[in-house]
């Protein structure tokens, strides 16, 4: 049974915001004409059937504006990955519920592959046929997939590495190089409004009847995707037409280690603050947007270590290698060139202490490239919660095996998160788990999967929740949508910041409503080992009537990437709680 968590302090704010939201809700109009979707040329391609869940790509023609720079034809299409029960209805309007999911920062549609399938299966066990749509941002049309698609055909992950880093041609095509911010003017047309509009047009096309839409669709988001969903709820897609308000498309809202709100500080509840913040923030937003358009501000993260273009490509390549050759000794790092972004990324993720980090292993500890790993072990060393030094990348996938290890204290030891008050915020750096690094350069390190960690003194089965084999498959995917976007548009972040700051004109002119998400059922899923519930989760209260669940032992990404069956024999908490929530809606 789902439980409800309430608080007097939270309740006061929630009721206030909900009351104002209700007052500002779009009112019915007898003269209103039903909106018609601008999406055309629907195409659906079945990608596979996994344990009774059909996965397909659905896309539509929704051309970018005529003044957009020249671009591939794929950029004029919007789409999503569709997950549905093999024995369920083909028409989404006939499903019991349709989950529409926005991805987090840098996340591609493949990010939600695990939770999507787990939700569909859990719902089936409850006697319900549901669909899960993992939305792809329009910027995914620029993803690098050629090398991955080719390597998946040949079975050799080094083909992808050589294509991206060593000039190897594929089908006569040579990789033209990684794009920089100045060469990505197309991203100026892929901000928050584009993300929201694509979702709206697709939802409208697939279920044209507005009462059915409002009964069937459940709008969700992981991490930054929860914020995007908050803006969707309060967006006006039809010049005041009540049927074209974002909230009129959703029966309920779900936030996965996130929050659903366009106004978390409740600025819009006070007319004076509404006017003041709009007068200040909207012009500032206009200036920053113009600066981004002329290249003064970056359009992408670019060469930023750990979270930049090459860094996310390396994580994907590590997944590809672990998927194609899981037990083979990895050659990935030996084939990667030495450059500032790659070396700084590997150094940050691997360093055992501050001296190792400051000297890049020259203090005698060595670098990640100096050790031997199977491809699966290398993937785990890069991203597992007992090794990776950045919490927001971590998943609980098992532990390193095959040789001796030493504890890590960079950037801080996991035990530091036990410090009262301060400890919760230290989770943001490297998470609450103890982390370990290999010490013997002669042995071949292997990996123990999430369901084989009994007896390991520095972890427990309840904190290992993701199957590294499935993570490898997802990371190593090529087209149609990658796990991590190659060129995520920072314009989306700029727009969210402007909206949160109070901008309601210019690019935020369609953000007409506020607090509407609080007038409907909400499910909040916190990852138990993540920092989010202890930071934003405390600063910005969830709706008083929300159902709140903590996913025990889950890291931030585990919220959408956990294994179908957990070590206690139960199904993935995230998919199960979501399926139970869908059933409660009727």
DSSP track, 444-482: EEEEEETT--TT-TT--GGG--S-HHHHHHHHT--SS--
Mean pLDDT lowest for which of 247-256, 409-418, 486-495, 511-520?
Answer: 409-418
pLDDT at 29: 44
- The pLDDT tens digits for 71-121 are 999 999 999 999 999 999 999 999 999 999 999 999 999 999 999 999 999
Backbone angles phi, psi at 37, to 5 degrees: -65, 145
Q: Is 75 helix (H, G, I), strand (E, B) or coil?
A: helix
**What's the average model confidence in pLDDT over 320-349?**
97
At 32 the pLDDT is 56
How far apart are the C-alpha atoms of 147 and 477, rounded to whole Å? 10
List, for residues 490-506, the tens digit of each pLDDT value.
999 999 999 999 999 99
pLDDT confidence of residue 565: 98
Structure confidence at residue 422 as a pLDDT band (50, 70, 90): confident
Task: Answer positive or negative: Cα dihedral of 206, 209, 211, 212.
Answer: negative
Q: What is the pLDDT of residues 533-558, one digit of tens each?
A: 888 777 888 988 999 999 999 999 99
Share of the chain above pLDDT 70, in %: 95
Taking only the tens place, the pLDDT of each residue in 1-55 is 333 333 323 333 333 333 334 334 444 444 557 889 999 999 999 999 999 999 9
d(CA 303, CA 318): 19
Q: Give the C-alpha separation, 185 to 181, whole Å.
A: 8
Q: Buried (b) or exposed (e) across 492-507, using 16+ Cβ within 10 A?
A: bebbbebbbbbbbeeb
Structural tokens at position 467:
């199957």
Task: Single out the residue of 241, 201, 246 nearest to residue 228, CA to CA.
Answer: 246
Higher per-residue confidence, 264 vs 414: 264
Q: Which strand ranges, in their side-by-side order, compose the sheet holding 97-102? A: 40-50, 53-61, 77-85, 130-136, 97-102, 217-222, 252-256, 522-527, 547-551
Cβ contact 461:396 at 8 Å: no
pLDDT value for 180: 95
Task: Please say whether the dihedral angle defined by the alpha carbons of residues 86, 88, 89 and 93, taken in this order, is positive or negative.
Answer: negative
pLDDT of 158 over the 70 cut = yes
Provide the pLDDT confidence category of residue 416 given band limits of 50, 70 and 90. confident
What pLDDT score was predicted for residue 13? 32
**What pLDDT does 34 receive?**
81
Least-confidence region, from 123-127, 380-384, 422-426: 422-426
In the predicted model, what is the mean pLDDT of residues 401-421?
A: 89
Q: What is the mean pLDDT of the chain?
A: 93
As a whole number of Å, the CA-based R_g of the chain is 23
**pLDDT at site 9:** 35
Question: Cα torsion for 580, 582, 583, 585, to the nearest 10°?
Answer: 130
Which pLDDT value is given to residue 8? 29
- The first and second tokens of residue 392, run together, are 């927001």
Which tens digit of pLDDT belongs to each residue from 261-315? 999 999 999 999 999 999 999 999 999 999 999 989 999 999 999 999 999 999 9
Q: Show the beta-strand stretches assigned E in 109-208.
A: 130-136
- % of the chain with per-residue pLDDT over 90: 87
Look up residue 496 and give its two tokens: 């969210």
Number of H helices, E strands in the chain: 19, 14
Q: What is the DSSP secondary-structure string of 503-524?
A: --SGGGTT----SGGGGS-EEE
CB 141 within 8 A of CB 77: yes
Q: What is the DSSP string of 180-221?
A: -GGG-GGGGG-SHHHHHHHHHHHHHHH---HHHHHHHEEEEE
User: How far is residue 323's CA from residue 110's CA, in Å, rounded to a whole number?
Assistant: 15
pLDDT at 3: 36
In the structure, what pLDDT confidence band is assigned to residue 438 with cuts at 50, 70 and 90? very high
Name the least confident of 150-164, 398-412, 425-439: 425-439
Peptide bond connecting 418 to the previous residue in cis, omega within 30 degrees of 0: no
Please tell me the predicted confidence (pLDDT) of residue 152: 98
């Amino acid at each position: 049974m789902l439980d409800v968590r309430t608080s007097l302090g939270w309740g006061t704010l929630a009721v206030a915001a909900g009351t104002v939201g209700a007052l500002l809700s779009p009112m019915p109009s007898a003269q209103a004409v039903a909106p018609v979707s601008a999406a055309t040329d629907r195409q659906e391609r079945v990608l596979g059937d996994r344990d009774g869940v059909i996965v397909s790509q659905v896309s539509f023609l929704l051309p970018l504006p005529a003044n957009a720079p020249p671009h591939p034809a794929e950029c004029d299409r919007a789409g999503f990955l569709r997950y549905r029960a093999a024995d369920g209805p083909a028409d989404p309007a006939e499903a019991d519920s349709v989950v529409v999911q926005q991805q987090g920062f840098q996340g591609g549609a493949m990010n939600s592959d695990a939770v999507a399938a787990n939700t569909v299966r859990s719902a089936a066990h409850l006697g319900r046929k549901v669909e899960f749509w993992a939305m792809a941002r329009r910027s995914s049309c620029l993803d690098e997939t050629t090398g991955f698609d080719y390597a998946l055909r040949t079975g050799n992950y080094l083909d992808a590495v050589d294509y991206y880093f060593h000039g190897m041609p594929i089908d006569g095509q040579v990789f033209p190089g990684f794009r920089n911010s100045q060469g990505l003017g197309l991203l100026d047309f892929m901000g928050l409004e584009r993300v929201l509009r694509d979702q709206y047009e697709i939802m409208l096309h697939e279920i044209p009847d507005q009462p059915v839409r409002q009964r069937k669709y459940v709008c969700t988001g992981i991490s930054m995707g929860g914020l995007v969903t908050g803006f969707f709820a309060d967006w006006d897609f039809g010049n005041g037409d009540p049927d074209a308000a974002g909230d009129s498309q959703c029966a309920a809202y779900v936030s996965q280690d996130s929050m659903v709100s366009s106004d978390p500080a409740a600025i819009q509840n006070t007319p004076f603050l509404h006017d003041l913040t709009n007068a200040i923030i909207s012009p500032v937003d206009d200036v920053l947007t113009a600066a981004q358009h002329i290249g003064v501000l970056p359009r992408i993260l670019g060469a930023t270590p750990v979270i930049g273009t090459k860094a996310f490509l390396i994580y994907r390549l590590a997944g590809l290698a672990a998927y194609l050759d899981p037990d083979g000794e990895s050659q990935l790092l030996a084939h990667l060139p030495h450059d500032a972004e790659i070396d700084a990324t590997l150094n940050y993720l691997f360093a055992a202490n501050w001296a190792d980090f400051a000297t890049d292993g020259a203090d005698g500890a060595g670098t990640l490239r100096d050790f031997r790993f199977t491809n699966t072990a290398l993937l785990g060393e890069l991203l597992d919660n007992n090794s990776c030094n950045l919490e927001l990348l971590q998943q609980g996938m098992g532990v390193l095996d095959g040789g001796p290890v030493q504890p890590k204290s960079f950037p801080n030891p996991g035990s530091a998160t036990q410090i009262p008050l301060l400890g919760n915020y230290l989770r943001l750096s490297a998470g609450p788990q103890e982390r370990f690094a290999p010490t013997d350069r002669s042995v071949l390190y292997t990996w123990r999967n999430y369901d084989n960690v009994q007896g390991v003194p520095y972890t427990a089965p309840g904190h290992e929740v993701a199957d590294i084999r499935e993570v490898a498959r997802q990371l190593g995917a090529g087209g149609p949508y990658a796990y991590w976007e190659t060129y995520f548009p920072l314009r989306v972040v700029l727009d969210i910041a402007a909206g949160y700051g109070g901008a309601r004109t210019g690019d935020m002119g369609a953000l007409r409503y506020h607090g509407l998400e609080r007038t409907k059922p909400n499910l909040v899923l916190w990852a138990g080992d993540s920092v989010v519930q202890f930071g934003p989760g405390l600063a910005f209260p969830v709706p008083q009537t929300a159902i709140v669940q903590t996913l025990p032992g889950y890291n931030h990404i585990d919220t959408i990437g956990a294994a179908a069956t957990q070590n206690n024999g139960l199904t993935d908490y995230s998919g199960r709680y979501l399926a139970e929530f869908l059933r409660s809606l009727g």
